[in-house]
Structure 1
Amino acid sequence: MRIEPFTIAIPDDRLQWVLGRLADARWPELPDEEPWRHGVHDADLRDFVDHILNHYDWRAEEAKLNAFPQFMAEIDGQNIHFIHAKSGRPDAPTVLLSHGWPSTHADFIGVIDRLTQPERFGGRTEDALHLVIPSLPGYGFSTMPRRIIGPPTFARQFDRLMTEGLGLDSYIPQGGDVGSVISSWIAWRSPAVRALHLNYNGWFQPGQKPETPEEAEAVARWHNLRDDDGGYSHLAATRPLNLAYAFTDSPLGAAAWIFARYKRGIDDLWAVYDKDALATTVMIFLLTGSLPSSMNSYRGLRIDEQRPADSIIDVPTAFLRFPGEIASFPRSFLEKTYTNIVRWTDVPAGGHFAAFEQPELFCTDLLAFCRDVTDGKFD
């Protein structure tokens, strides 16, 4: 496996094309309706685009991203970009952080120092972690797979990166959103997985039915969410290539599509996110043109390898639960698949993009769990 150092260096002509198209975009005429009830609110998106054009500096943000050691690995003909951030603790466990959609590796930039240097934030040096943070295939700086693949193949490639490429005998996958599915595939299949940490639901048993009122309520909420705001997912899972033409040629359309996902369930967006940080996530997709290929992974959920019936994950597992999560299931429902849940933490704030929204809460729980794993508490 070839692994080489990598530096983000967006060509000036590409940067100027994206910014120029945003500046010259033709905005749609929309009906006067309640903000966000029927889709993206024009005033909010205009404010965000204005920030990108007039108050945001991609080159400064690019330098921040390049401050962390980055690499490109070729796995099965696929170029996978990743950060490998090591702590000063030689025997630290390594955690694989897998992001979701429409996220990038930049969602984790705010947690890297907290996890690799916890003593700087009131923690203990002996709890420090090594981190591997890949960009999912087809997302950001990882190139587009030549065929449509999904989490099972992502998981296989990531496990090869960790074991063959980096030579690790053991590691701990962590994930939310699609990353929770990828991490679960790894934990189910790889003998190198020591434990598992999730901030989303991960897997359900195929055809799993609720057995308690609490489970039934959670399933009903899930179905209501899909009926009310699941059109993007259904389209991406059925005909994602139809979207490629629109998003490749329209930075405004692509920005609106991403912006809507981060807004979902949040009243005051800028009380949760740093505007520059969210602009960086959007700009990574726009500058790499990878929004269309990222959406192919939804199709991959349907046509890639499917989970066997009664697939059980029995490694020590931690669930970190945020109150603003878009779909949250009770422990009894998840225990049908995760039979060794050793840590279950409910925190007071945060939502779907956990590490991005609440880095301190995210890091506190992950550090505590990894400390218990390292101390042999679950052996």
Structure 2
Amino acid sequence: MTATSEATEIRPFSFEFSDADLHNLKQRIEATRWPEKETVSDQSQGTQLSTVQALAHYWASEYDWRKVEAKLKALPNFITEIDGLDIHFIHVRSQHENALPLIVTHGWPGSIVEQLKIIEPLTNPTAHGGSASEAFDVVVPSIPGYGFSGKPTEKGWGPERIARAWTELMKRLGYTRFVAQGGDWGALITETMALQKPPELLGIHVNMPAEVPPAVEVAILTGNPVPEADYSEEEQRAIEQLQFFYQHVYYALEMATRPQSLTGLADSPVGLAAFMLDHDAKSLGLISRVFNGVEEGLTRDDVLDNVTLFWLTNTAVSAARLYGENTSQFFSAKGITIPVAVSVFPDELHQAPRSWTEQAYPNLIHYNQLPKGGHFAAWEQPELLVDELRTGFRSLR
């Protein structure tokens, strides 16, 4: 075997966190030094003390990491070196013939944990209300610096390089045609794949589309007046939602510009959790209700499965660096011409208007506004997202 073939080899991947690792985590949670309560009655100052204390109590006294560890280990995990970096991924082939290969990319503060609920329904549709003709082969990679993938030791691993790596991964798995899906960073990486136009990529699906007229997003980002136009009610609502989001996105600015200053996230599990929960107002509200005993969307275990993976792999800082590698606007239309399917969830950072979506994607093959769900669609509303993927990609089979 040559050195080149060794580097490109796809190797089975296994992992094991010791009882000592979990005991150390519990000790750190129990030793948390708490700040005083916020001076407001809402979440305007961030993750509320009562939420974090409820999370910490459950984490230290009832939560069982071994449950999700068993779920992860039951799936086929692999690792392969691409462009000098180890890339971890889950790869589940459907037993149905002519399954459509699909690569699904998570976001921040997410991980492969986000996609665990959709893998089985996508690969085994006949057991989950679908037909054999709707089957997918599913590939779920860990973004560089996240989870079990390698941590870049130099700059340069931005969405463009990741997108090229994803195409190489799918080709290395033997796929000559495939589709791609993502939300959050996953959406940007997926759209970047579409812009690169590898011939194997048939189309994409995103649940956080980049459809905003560029001049509108630039104005919002810079605090300038939005260009005058006869905006529809939907478009005006999207503008207001984006204005609100960009007024509360300072966590991203810190990660983009000063990731190494977040060393405390590698030292305090509760500090890590408090930071990760505060991604956006709707998600924080949902998670806060969950830790207050309300059953909806996510569970307490869902939330802690993800945070614990970040903790055990020590990837808080390495994951944060992705923000500094990005040179694209998240929401501006980018000129994608290949087939695109879009799902709009009501509690997303903004609800993409049909008008802007049709302008942004001239080859729009599916657009749907869902009745419930937010930013982490695969995690919060897996059944709805699975149905959207079946419907959205139907014409590309």
Residue in 2 that maps onto 1:283? 308
Tell me how far apart the structure 2 counterparts of residues 347 and 372 of structure 1 sit (CA, whole Å).
20
- Conservation of the 8 A alpha-carbon contact between 1:265 and 1:324: no
Residue in 2 that maps onto 1:334? 357
Specify which of 181, 185, 188 is matched with residue 192 of structure 2: 185
- Conservation of the 8 A alpha-carbon contact between 2:145 and 2:151: yes
Counterparts of residues 337-348 of structure 1 (less than 5 Å) = 337-348=360-371
Q: Provide the TM-score with structure 2 as the length reference.
A: 0.87
- Conservation of the 8 A alpha-carbon contact between 1:255 and 1:286: no
Instruction: Quote the offset at 1:122 in angstroms.
Output: 1.8
Residue in 1 that maps onto 2:119? 112
Residue in 1 that maps onto 2:275? 257
Residue in 2 that maps onto 1:373? 396
Tell me how far apart the structure 2 counterparts of residues 37 and 306 of structure 1 sit (CA, whole Å).
25
**Alignment deviations for residues 67-107 of structure 1 (CA, whole Å, 9 cap, x no partner):** 11010111112111110011111321111101111000111
**Alignment deviations for residues 13-63 of structure 1 (CA, whole Å, 9 cap, x no partner):** 332222211111111122442132211111111111211111111122201
Matched, 1:268 2:289: yes
Aligned to 1:53, what secondary structure does the other structure show? helix
Instruction: Quote the offset at 1:277 in angstroms.
Output: 1.7
Closer/same/farther in 2, CA of residues 254 and 199 from structure 1, 3 Å limit = same
Specify which of 231, 234, 242 is matched with residue 261 of structure 2: 242
Aligned to 2:11, what secondary structure does the other structure show? strand
Closer/same/farther in 2, CA of residues 59 and 88 from structure 1, 3 Å limit = same
Tell me how far apart the structure 1 counterparts of residues 230 and 257 of structure 2 sit (CA, whole Å).
32
Q: Provide the TM-score with structure 1 as the length reference.
A: 0.91
Instruction: Quote the offset at 1:231 in angstroms.
Output: 1.0
Tell me how far apart the structure 2 counterparts of residues 117 and 42 of structure 1 sit (CA, whole Å).
42
Specify which of 240, 245, 257 is matched with residue 225 of structure 1: 245
More displaced stretch, 198-207 vs 57-66: 198-207
More displaced stretch, 60-69 vs 195-204: 195-204
Closer/same/farther in 2, CA of residues 206 and 28 from structure 1, 3 Å limit = same
Closer/same/farther in 2, CA of residues 92 and 217 from structure 1, 3 Å limit = same
State the one-letter code of the partner of 1:156: R
Residue in 2 that maps onto 1:377? none
Matched, 1:292 2:292: no
- Conservation of the 8 A alpha-carbon contact between 2:102 and 2:138: yes
Tell me how far apart the structure 1 counterparts of residues 213 and 79 of structure 2 sit (CA, whole Å).
35
Instruction: Quote the offset at 1:310 in angstroms.
Output: 8.4
Matched, 1:197 2:222: no
Aligned CA RMSD, in angstroms, stands at 2.1
Q: Count the aligned residue pairs.
A: 368
Instruction: Quote the offset at 1:264 in angstroms.
Output: 2.8
Aligned to 1:8, what secondary structure does the other structure show? coil
Counterparts of residues 72-87 of structure 1 (less than 5 Å) = 72-87=79-94
**Alignment deviations for residues 244-278 of structure 1 (CA, whole Å, 9 cap, x no partner):** x1111111111111122274353733422121121
